[in-house]
Amino acid sequence: MDFLITEFRQYTDWLPNWMVSVGLLVGAVLIGLAIHRFAFGIFKRLVEDKDLFWRSLVSRGRRPMRLTVLTFTVSFAAAVAPLADRPAEIIRHVLLLGFILVLGWVAKTALHIWMTVYLRRFKLDAEDNLLARTHVTQSRIAERIAGAMIVIVTVAAMLMTFPAVQQYGVSVLASAGVAGIVLGLALQPMLKNIFAGIQLAITQPIRIDDALIVEGEWGNVEEITSTYVVVKLWDWRRMILPLSYFIENPFQNWTREGSALIGTVMIYLDYSVPVSAIRRRVEEIANESKIWDRRVVNVQVTDFKESVMEIRILVSANNAPKTFDMRCEMREKIIDFVQREYPAALPRLRAEGASNSNGHANGAVAETALRHANFQS
């Protein structure tokens, strides 16, 4: 190798050193680009019949591969070029930084591709997606934490290539205690959310696609980042909440152990309505519905009011949106049934005037009929 370098310098001794150096560096870049294009084409053909991980790795690794090839070709050119000590040192340092950057880049890219391929086996749109939501939530939080660690290690390794950082590294570590306290106080909200994210990944009070009620709003968990959670509300609005909210505040998780839910419909009817008829009609509505999951359907008289009886209807569905639709369908069809079959049984408010001497009502009978049942859910 040294012999080739000596021979090359003898052949180019008649040219200015700067011209030779620039020519070598430019040539190294062009050769590196050509090598990268050729090698990338070969790798692309090799993984055509492979699984998704390898095809994605080659596709997403195109730019890191280019930077790697350029690093090696320019390193060789810098070793051959008749550079002065200072320019040669600067170029070698830049190339070393580029090599460390490539390693971090490739590691982060491989992590993202592997995680994406791993999560492809889990379907969030399945009827019972508890297992999928568990894996997706843990994997995405773990990916963000691992990605942050890769970035920190890469930056630290690049900084350690500077002599000043190496020289004062011990002093920096010695003063890290005081600096850490000051920095911790300044970044307390951010650090609280980061540790809350780790706790959420371990304990999982919420998962991706969980149905929640937070701040009086119903919605699904759409995204969990390293510092906040995005909840997609029923009307497509987005509620942004810090991770610490789910550690410090109570909230409802309707799909903590499974996606299936039981919906409740409350109806208030006159005592003259036969409960058995209501029960039969509720069962018919459930059996005719495409939403009902064939698990729970029940009718019970839960209370006696002054003028009406309280009837509770329970019906189940596979997930929260279907449960809501099932409740609405039950309300609409049961009130239609009552209006057709027992119109006089709808709640009424009656007031009768005093009778005269002939026994007839002296005042007109005032009767206000509520044309629809009073439903609550």
Q: What would you measure as the largest C-alpha separation in the chain, in angstroms? A: 139
Plot region of 239 (φ>0 → left; ψ -120 to 50 → alpha; else → beta):
beta
pLDDT class for 202, splitting at 50, 70, 90? confident
How far apart CA 198 and CA 142 sit, in angstroms, is: 8
How far apart CA 134 and CA 3 sit, in angstroms, is: 62
The domain locations on the chain are: 2-121, 185-253, 261-369
Instruction: Please give the pLDDT value at position 168.
Output: 59
Instruction: Please give the pLDDT value at position 333.
Output: 95
**Percent of the chain residues topping a pLDDT of 90:** 21
CATH number of 261-369: 3.30.70.100
Q: What is the pLDDT of residues 108-153, one digit of tens each?
A: 888 887 887 777 777 766 666 667 777 777 788 778 778 888 888 8
What's the predicted TM-score (pTM) here?
0.55
Strand-pair category, 238-242 with 252-253: unpaired
Instruction: Please give the pLDDT value at position 11.
Output: 59
Instruction: Please give the pLDDT value at position 297.
Output: 94
Which residues 6+ apart lie within 8 Å of 64 measured at CB?
102, 105, 106, 109
User: Which amino acid belongs to residue 68?
Assistant: T
> Cβ(338)–Cβ(346) under 8 Å?
yes
pLDDT class for 276, splitting at 50, 70, 90? very high
Which residues 6+ apart lie within 8 Å of 343 measured at CB?
none
Name the average pLDDT for the chain: 78
> Cβ(111)–Cβ(147) under 8 Å?
yes
CATH number of 185-253: 2.30.30.60
170 pLDDT above the threshold of 70: no
How far apart CA 275 and CA 151 sit, in angstroms, is: 67
Instruction: Please give the pLDDT value at position 370.
Output: 39
CA distances from 358 to 58, 351, 354 (A): 101, 20, 12
